[in-house]
A and B are shown apart, each in its own frame.
Chain A
């Protein structure tokens, strides 16, 4: 991976990587990728991909409303609210 790839990833993850640290980060991630490369050499033919480390199915719950309105408490630490809405810097996609 090159600096450009790392910068693109950083942008997607909304992480700020400064010019001073980019070389370090690139090196670290490349180290991890080397490890992954090594792992990928293992012959996995006939092994089902594992989507979760726990060998057990997901329990399901009954369709019932169990949560009460806690909007006041939940908005307590929001920087800005109005008429029950969270206010955020304007983003239009």
Chain B
């Protein structure tokens, strides 16, 4: 039997406001427990919420960036349930009148084609606190610093048909919200969390299969793994003649296993009702238009600009434009060295490899855009070869030169490339004179074999020059001299 998978995503995005959505407490990550939880966040009697304008502005920015209709009348509801990290006993959220209506984003598939993923809506809500279950003498510890942090929950249509598409969609949202500057995108700190709805059905079937929801995934990798695992589980059950139970599941990234959390029968009845403490928020056309006018450049538009402005390939442009910080780094370097292709290669190659290996963001790069640009300039003016450049790159990375100057490192390491042609000609002559047998072989070889044999001589010259000869010029001189030799006999 052939099965097909249907996936929909609910994505929680923490908005990068300074204060909470309904109180003036700080949202800074990593503070001591409960030092950023004020009386409102703790649901002390008599407190009332006052809504944060920035949260609405950020939600509107997201809506405009995803071609969505903006809900000019935004109403808050109470979603009632009891859990220790939710002091009020309800989450303030939106239901019927969310701030962002239907929209869409484009994703690029592995074969290079694009697919549009529809967004059902996105609504504003508050985050809950955190429960810590370990080591409190059988009790749970509650930290309410996160309670009241503004979130948008982005609900997609079930438009994705495999893990790759789901990950591409999630990465696209990450790229959009970080480019907009409305979320810091720090997945490890829970700034973006994914709930994945998965069902399978036989190929050609119209009706959707029973779905499960795997909750609270906080990395693209875990999401991909969790989807693969759940799809396999569902197909196994169906092929054995079983039925899928509608349930909520939890994936454990450490053990690579998932377990059922609760089935539909004990699903909460949230008893939503409009929040009497909050009036409807009305956003007028002027407000929305002023936000539209200030929208920063989005990844798709930036990619197109990189292609037209810097003549980058679609692939290079996509990679460099995806992350705002990478794009800024790239453009700062290009302004100085004026070579987009080389800059792209160095950022996507050496720099990315080193950053990934040390799990660093580009904003933490020990090498600045200026330094990278200086390095590229020295490659371009033939001061150093690409191989030497890697050595300089390493020295910059290790901060060997306290001023971080590319030229100082080149000088200190004696890395100057020999491009002076009279010096190089002498080296070529010497190698030709010392390798009579190989020269004869070269002479007697058919022209199609010769380019390969040339490498031997270049190698000898590079060795003689201790790697400092300019290989490009060596090649030119060598070819010229060898041709002379052959023509003269």
Give A51-72 interface residues, CB cut-off 8 Å to B: 51-52, 54, 56-67, 69-71
From residue B151, how far is it (CB to closest CB) to chain A in Å?
A: 15
> Is A74 in the interface zone, CB < 8 Å from B?
yes
Determine if A12 is an interface residue (Cβ-Cβ < 8 Å): yes
Minimum CB–CB distance from B139 to chain A (whole Å) comes to: 4
A-B pairs under 8 A by CB, number = 129
Interface segment, one of B50-58, B153-161, B220-228, B394-402: B50-58
Q: Which residues of B contact A51 (CB under 8 A)?
A: 75, 97, 274, 280
Do A91 and B19 touch across chains, with their CB atoms under 8 A apart? no
| Interfacial chain B residues near A90, Cβ < 8 Å | 133, 138-140
Q: Which of A12, A63, A82, A91 contacts B136 (CB 8 A)?
A: A82
- Which of B25, B51, B262 interacts with A65 by CB under 8 Å? B25
Q: Are A65 and B19 within 8 A (Cβ)?
A: yes
| Beta-carbon contact of B39 and A70 below 8 Å | yes
**In the docked arrangement, what's the CA distance between A51 and B73, Å?**
11
Give the shortest distance, in Å, between A91 (CB) and chain B (any CB): 6
With both chains docked as a complex, state the minimum distance between the C-beta of B66 and any C-beta of chain A, in angstroms.
Answer: 22
Whether the Cβ atoms of B54 and A63 lie closer than 8 Å is yes
Taking a contact as CB atoms under 8 Å apart, the answer to whether A61 and B53 are in contact is: yes
A84-B35 in contact (CB<8A): yes
Given contacts A61-B53, A65-B24, A89-B139, contact A84 B33 (CB under 8 A): yes
Q: Is A93 an interface residue (CB 8 A)?
A: yes
- Give CA–CA (A81, B268) in the complex, Å: 29
A63 neighbours in B (Cβ, 8 Å):
17-19, 52-55
Cα-based distance from A66 to B39 in the complex (angstroms)? 12
Partner of B281, one of A57, A62, A87, A91: A57
Nearest CB of chain B from residue A2's CB, rounded to whole Å: 16
Question: Which residues of B are found within 8 Å of A52, using beta-carbon distances?
Answer: 274, 276, 278-280
**How many angstroms from the CA of A12 to the CA of B267 in the assembled complex?**
11
Binary per-residue interface labels of chain A (10-54) against chain B in the complex, 1 for a CB within 8 Å, 0 otherwise: 001110000000000000000000000000000000000001101
Judge whether A83 and B280 touch: CB under 8 Å. no
Query: A64 to B39, Cβ gap below 8 A?
Result: no
B51 partner, pick from A58, A70, A71, A92, beta carbons under 8 A: A58
Nearest-neighbour CB distance to chain A for B42, whole angstroms, equals 6
Q: Sort chain A's interface into a size bin.
A: 35 or more
B271 at the interface (CB under 8 A from A): yes
A85, CB-defined interface residue at 8 Å? yes
**CA separation between A57 and B73, bound complex, in Å?**
9
Q: Which of B79-87, B194-202, B335-343 contacts A (4 or more CB under 8 A)?
A: B79-87
B141-149, B316-324, B376-384, B477-485 - the one binding chain A: B141-149
Known contacts A51-B274, A63-B18, A70-B39; decide if A75 and B34 are in contact (CB<8 Å). Answer: yes
Cβ-defined contact, B82 with A14, below 8 A: yes
Q: Are B34 and A84 within 8 A (Cβ)?
A: yes
Whether B139 lies near A12 (C-beta < 8 A) is: no
List, in ascending order, chain A residues with CB within 8 A of B276's CB.
Answer: 52
Q: Is B36 an interface residue (CB 8 A)?
A: yes
Contact of B34 among A54, A71, A91 (CB under 8 A): A71
* A91-B131 in contact (CB<8A): yes
B136-A87 in contact (CB<8A)? yes
Judged by a CB distance under 8 angstroms, whether B32 is at the interface is yes
* Among A13, A61, A70, A85, contact of B132 (Cβ-Cβ < 8 Å): A85
Nearest 10 CB-CB pairings of A with B? A66-B24, A85-B141, A63-B54, A67-B38, A60-B53, A58-B279, A84-B33, A57-B282, A86-B142, A67-B25
Name 30 interchain pairs, CB-CB below 8 A, sorted by A. A51-B97, A51-B274, A51-B280, A57-B280, A57-B282, A58-B281, A60-B56, A60-B281, A62-B54, A63-B52, A65-B18, A67-B23, A69-B35, A70-B38, A70-B39, A71-B33, A71-B34, A74-B42, A75-B34, A82-B136, A84-B32, A85-B34, A85-B136, A87-B139, A88-B139, A88-B142, A89-B140, A90-B139, A91-B83, A91-B140
Apart from A58-B280, A87-B139, what are 14 other A-B pairs with CB-CB below 8 Å?
A: A13-B80, A52-B274, A56-B279, A58-B281, A60-B50, A64-B19, A71-B34, A75-B34, A85-B34, A86-B142, A86-B144, A88-B84, A92-B140, A93-B262
Which B residues form the contact surface with A (CB < 8 A)? 17-19, 23-26, 32-40, 42, 44, 50-56, 75, 80, 82-84, 97, 131-133, 136, 138-144, 261-262, 268-269, 271, 274, 276, 278-282
